[in-house]
């Protein structure tokens, strides 16, 4: 494509609804060939950017995305980092918040925008939200403020919202407004104009070089508490061979039962070297361990507070840190602090 502006953007198509059109033969949805993306979205030619695309082959429904795919996406960005001004990752919406979180932990000193988007309706349908999402994501990936990338972060751009990827959760399986960021404000106002909120955006430290961490350890589990939870279930999870880390989704501000057996089981897991992080089931707000008796004892047992982290960010952060460090202490220390703006 012609390039009047000198701006180059790489679009990485992993799969998901956005890249689908209706097969004229049988009417079923099939993935488009991304090399011809402008044929489906002719508006892209008007940008005047140098747009390149790479496509996964085969493309993936995002339910099949796992750490090996996060590494593949990160490697594509690493290999092309100095040739492009920004990156747009097209991804299924179902696990987009996990991928955005994982990438945010893998990239250190990221100085360029990595904007994930997708759609609820395929790009080949008349009422699609995919065109607008793609066009806005490209514009944000290309945006400069004072000559520097406006948003050098891993973000999700969806339905006129730009939010930090590791703060985001999919909240609707049917509305165009599918994502929200419960505990962190948007990074830009996406309306008639794109207005970036510099005080909410993270910028890399100038002297540090961009690097990519590529190890994950998936010996982790998420346990969602519910009233009446059975001890056998908890013990079967904490007794899982090789399990190194457990996220417990607790009630309210981080509360859990005070039954002796429950606390004993958590303590046993920690004493054997396991790591437990406390994340709230609420769709907003923070864990405050020690506020109530029902969390004070977990704190005393050595459970780490996840504060206001999302479940998606907590599990990807845990996998990332366990892949990175063998030392339990190092993992616990890094878990408790914000690495990429994922918690307050
Ligand atoms: N199942 C699809 C996916 O996540 C849904 C979507 O793209 O929105 O890959």
Domain C-terminal end among 156, 189, 212: 212
User: What residues make up the domain containing 84?
Assistant: 8-212
> Considering 161, 183, 212, which residue would you say is the last residue of a domain?
212
Ligand 1 centroid – CA 211 distance (Å): 29
- 171 with 245, same domain: the answer is no
Q: Is the Cβ atom of 113 under 6 angstroms away from ligand 1?
A: no
- The predicted pLDDT at position 321 comes to 98
Instruction: Indicate whether 48 and 149 sit together in one domain.
Output: yes
**Cα-to-centroid distance, 45 and ligand 1 (Å):** 26
Q: What pLDDT, on the 0 to 100 scale, is given for residue 1?
A: 46
Q: What is the CA radius of gyration of the chain?
A: 21
CATH assignment of the domain containing 114: 3.40.50.1170
Q: Whose CA is nearest to atom 4 of ligand 1?
A: 92
- For the chain, give me the number of helices (H) and strands (E)? 10, 20
Say yes or no: 184 and 241 in one domain. no
Q: How far apart are CA 117 and CA 69, in angstroms?
A: 16
Residue 36 clears pLDDT 80, i.e. is over it: no
Q: How many domains does the chain have?
A: 2
Q: Is 93 in the pocket of ligand 1 (CB under 6 A)?
A: yes
| pLDDT value at 291 more than 90 | no
2 in a structural domain: no
The answer on 168 and 131 residing in a single domain is yes
Query: Pick the catalytic residue: 7, 14, 17, 310?
Result: 17
Q: Are residues 206 and 243 in the same domain?
A: no
Question: Same domain, yes or no, for 168 and 39?
Answer: yes
User: What integer pLDDT is reported at residue 4 of this predicted model?
Assistant: 53
Q: Are residues 238 and 122 in the same domain?
A: no
Would you say residue 344 lies in a domain?
no
Q: What pLDDT is attached to residue 334?
A: 98
pTM for this entry: 0.95
- Cα of 49 to ligand 1 centre, how many Å? 28
CB burial readout 165-181, b (16+ within 10 A) else e: bbbbbbeeeeebebbbb
Pair type for strands 107-108 and 211-212 = antiparallel
CB 214 within 8 A of CB 74: yes
- Residues 108-166: pLDDT tens digits? 999 999 999 999 999 888 899 999 999 999 999 999 999 999 999 999 999 999 999 99
- Asked whether 86 lines ligand 1 (CB < 6 A), one says no
Residue 89 contacts residue 116 (beta carbons within 8 Å): yes
Instruction: Give percent above pLDDT 90 in the chain.
Output: 83
Q: What is the mean pLDDT of residues 326-334?
A: 97
Is the pLDDT higher at 102 or at 293? Answer: 102
Please tell me whether the peptide bond between 58 and the residue prior to it is cis, using omega within 30 degrees of 0: yes
For the Cβ of 121 lying below 6 angstroms from any atom of ligand 1, the answer is no
Cβ-Cβ contacts under 8 Å for 239 (sequence gap 6 or more) = none
- For residue 61, the ligand 1 atom closest to its alpha carbon is 9
225 with 200, same domain: the answer is no
Asked if residue 189 has its Cβ within 6 Å of ligand 1, the reply is no
Domain boundary residue, one of 159, 192, 212:
212
Are 110 and 202 part of one and the same domain? yes
Same domain membership, residue 330 and residue 199 = no
Is 319 inside a domain boundary? yes
The separation between the first and the last C-alpha atoms of the chain, rounded to the nearest angstrom, is 42
Mutation test residue for ligand 1: of 59, 61, 117, the one with most atoms within 8 Å of CB: 61
Higher pLDDT, 61 or 3: 61
Residues 142 and 76 both lie in one domain: yes
Cα–Cα distance measured from residue 279 to residue 89, given in angstroms and rounded to the nearest whole number: 28
* Catalytic residue check, 17: yes
Q: Are residues 234 and 299 in the same domain?
A: yes
3 lies in some domain: no
Higher pLDDT, 33 or 100: 100
* 31 Cβ below 6 A of ligand 1: no
Helices of type H across 169-238: 231-238
């Amino acid at each position: 494509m012609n390039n009047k502006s000198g701006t180059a953007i790489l679009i990485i198509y992993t799969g998901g609804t956005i890249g689908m059109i209706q097969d004229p033969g049988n009417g079923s949805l099939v993935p488009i060939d991304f090399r011809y993306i402008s044929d489906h979205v002719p508006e892209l030619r008007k940008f005047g950017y140098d747009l390149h695309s790479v496509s996964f082959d085969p493309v993936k429904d995002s339910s099949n995305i796992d750490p090996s795919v996060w590494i593949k996406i990160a490697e594509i960005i690493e290999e092309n980092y100095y040739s492009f001004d920004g990156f747009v990752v097209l991804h299924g919406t179902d696990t987009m918040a996990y991928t955005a979180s994982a990438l945010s932990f893998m990239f250190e000193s990221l100085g360029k925008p990595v904007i994930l988007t997708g759609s609820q309706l395929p790009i080949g349908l008349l009422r699609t939200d995919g065109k607008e999402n793609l066009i806005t994501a490209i514009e944000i990936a290309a945006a400069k403020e004072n000559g520097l990338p406006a948003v050098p972060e891993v973000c999700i751009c969806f339905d006129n919202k730009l939010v930090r990827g590791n703060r985001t959760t999919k909240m609707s399986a049917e509305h165009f407004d599918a994502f929200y960021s419960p505990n962190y404000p948007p990074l830009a106002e996406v309306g008639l104009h794109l207005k970036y909120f510099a005080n909410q955006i993270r910028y890399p430290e100038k002297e540090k070089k961009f690097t990519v961490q590529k190890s994950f350890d998936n010996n982790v589990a998420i346990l969602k508490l519910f009233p009446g939870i059975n001890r056998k279930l908890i013990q079967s999870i904490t007794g899982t061979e090789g399990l190194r880390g457990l996220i417990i989704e607790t009630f309210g501000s981080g509360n859990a039962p005070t039954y002796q057996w429950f606390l004993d089981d958590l303590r046993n897991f920690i004493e054997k070297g396991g790591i437990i992080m406390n994340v709230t089931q609420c769709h907003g707000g923070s864990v405050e361990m020690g506020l109530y008796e029902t969390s004070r004892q977990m704190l005393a047992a050595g459970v780490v507070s996840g504060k206001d982290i999302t479940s998606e960010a907590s599990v990807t952060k845990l996998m990332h840190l366990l892949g990175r460090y063998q030392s339990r202490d190092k993992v616990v220390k890094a878990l408790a602090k914000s690495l990429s703006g994922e918690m307050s």
